[in-house]
Amino acid sequence: MAKKKYPENTLHPRYWPTWLGIGGLHICAWLPWKAKIALGKGIGQLALTFARERRHFTEVNIRLAFPEKSPEEQKQLVKETFLANGIGIMEIATSLVRDTHFLQERLTFLGKEHFEQARARGKGVLVMGFHFSVMDLAGALHSPFHKVDIFYKPHKNKVFNRFIEKGRERNFGQQINYRDLKTAVRRLRQGEVVWYTPDQDFGRKVSVFAPFFGVQAASITMTSRIVRMTGCSVVPVRVHRNKDDFTYTLEFLPPLEYFPSGDDVVDATQVNQVIEKLIRIHPEQYLWMHRRFKTRPDPEDPSYY
C-alpha cells in the first residue's frame, strides 16, 4: 500500500492556523512531564470556563449518571473531568509525535491472559475500548505488546487529518474508516485484532435502548452484529491514568460470555454494564462532554440538554 502524503497546497493560507496548531502539539509532546500535567490542567480550566456548551453537556450527563452525588460533588466531578481531559490533550500530543516506549516503565499491564486466550481461538478479537481521556495514548501503551487495527473518523481538515494518520501509524495497525464495516469484518476473519468503541449515541436507527447509569440510552447494536458475522471474541479493555498523574494502568477483562445472545437489548445491556463498571473506577477521565443521552426513547420527549 502506498504511503499516504499530505494533500497538495498545504501552504495555502487557510492551513496556516493548522500548521501553527501542529507546531504547538509538537512542543507539548516534548515538554517535561510535570509541565505537561500543569499545562493540561490549565487547558482544562480554560475549557471549563469558556466552553459553555461542553460544560453544559458534562453537567447534564453527570447529573443523570450520578444522582446520588450532592450538587457540590457533581460540580467537583465536572471540574475534575475538564482537568483530566485537558491532560488528555497532552497525552494525545505525546502519542502522535513521539516514540512512547519510555512510558512502558510506568505502565501496569493486567489481564494479558484474557487477551491471549481470545487470540488463541483464532477467530479474531474485537477489543472493546471506551472514550477515556487517555484513549489515544492507549494505543501507544499497548503497541509494544500487540498493534491493533482501529476505526477512525477522518478529520475535515486534510492537513490535520494526515498529521493524525501519520502519528497513529506508529502505534496502531490498519486504520479503518468508521463506515467501512467490510474491512473490519475481513480483518477479524483473518484472525486480526480490531479496537472498537461502542459508547456513543449514534441515533435510534442503529441503536436499541438499554440502561446506562440507570438511564435508558441509545446503544448501538454493531458490537453484537460484528460478532455474529465473524465469530470473534469481545475483550473489554480499560486504560486509566493513575492518581499520581505519572503512571498508567492497562487492563484486559475476560471475554464477554454468552455474547451475542440473540437479543439486541440484552447484548447492549451487557456492554453498557461493562462500560459503567470501568467508568466508575475513574469517572473524571471519561469523555462526558458529548451528548450521551441525546436520543430519547420517545421522540416526543424533551431533550435532556
pLDDT tens, residue by residue, 196-208: 999 999 999 999 9
Q: In percent, how much of the chain has pLDDT > 70?
A: 97
DSSP at 303: P
Beta strands, E only, the chain: 107-110, 125-128, 149-152, 175-177, 193-196, 207-212, 215-220, 233-241, 248-252
pLDDT above 70 for 3: no
In the block, residue with C-alpha cell 509532546:
29
Q: Is-cis flag, bond preceding 260, omega within 30?
A: yes
CA pair distance 192, 203, nearest whole angstrom: 29
Instruction: Please state which of the ranges 38-47, 71-80, 198-207 shows the lowest mean pLDDT.
Output: 198-207
- The Cα 245–Cα 127 span in angstroms is 25
Q: How far is CA 60 from its chain centroid? A: 20
> The whole model's pTM is what?
0.92
Q: Which residue has the higher pLDDT, 303 or 12?
A: 303
Cα angle 128, 133, 134; round to 5: 70
For residue 2, what pLDDT band results from cuts at 50, 70 and 90? low
Mean pLDDT for 79-104 is 95
Range with top average pLDDT, 10-14, 154-158, 266-270: 266-270
* One-letter identity of residue 129: G
Does the pLDDT value for residue 250 go beyond 70? yes
